[in-house]
Structure 1
Amino acid sequence: MLVQPYLFFNGRCEEALRFYRETLGAEVLMQKYFREAPPNPERPLKAGTEDKIMHCTFRVGTSELMGSDGDCEPGTNAPSGFALSVTGDDNASAQKIFNALSAGGNVMMPWQPTFWSEGFGMVVDRFGIMWMVTSPHHAGHKG
């Protein structure tokens, strides 16, 4: 069994993919636009969504995530009830990831040493996705 996060960006998926490419080195593996879907007379294409992403798959490190622009409705709530956790290769790279995701976002817990790691921080990025960023665990770390 494979469980993968599926993220909805309410009309900002293309922007989010560009941001994750720049900040996390994400690689877009596949993306399909609403205009590419076969016509369905029972669910006609909503005007203005033709050039929005209906589905995409992208890789961050060794993880694959999926995403969509979703229904592109104004006032749609930001996602909640989950966070994506990312571990850097070392403390410096983890802090760099945290700082990059923080640009235009909302820091929930500033980057700092903890009792379990040299560095940890939580941020909701500019797309409403919560990230928990941590340094790799090192045996014997006391915080």
Structure 2
Amino acid sequence: MMLLEPYLNFNGNTEQAFLFYRSVFGGNFTVLMRFADMPGSEKMPEADRQRIMHISLPIGDHVTLKGTDVIDSLNQQLQPGDNFHLAITVDNEADIHRLFNGISAGGTVIMPLGKESWGELFGMCKDKFGIQWMFNYIKPVK
């Protein structure tokens, strides 16, 4: 299985944007995580802790719109043109390495593949054409 989904970045108004998208597309959020849910978040300013770390809204049978708030306290800044990623989720560890290494070749690794609290491996890069990518490997439940 491989999914390719749009991942939108917002400057503090992800929640408002996704409430709007839900009013248009319908459906329910399948994930809504705040930065307060992240390990170590107690060191963040309270306003940032309440912002959206990850939100997912299915908008059809095969597409999920995803998003996050860009957080100044994490040294993140929103730049025009950098407000989205293409997010790939796979259920095969070999695929995540092959895809990440292939797309990042000649580009910039922003976050190397590594273990995260929500899944086995996650990484981010910008390809040699300037497109931002996110890679997520979630081990299948057997």
TM-score (norm 2): 0.47
Q: Which has the higher contact order (CA 8 A, sep 6+)?
A: 2
When normalised by structure 1's length, the TM-score is: 0.46
Higher helix proportion (structure 1 or 2): 2
Instruction: Say which structure is richer in strand.
Output: 2
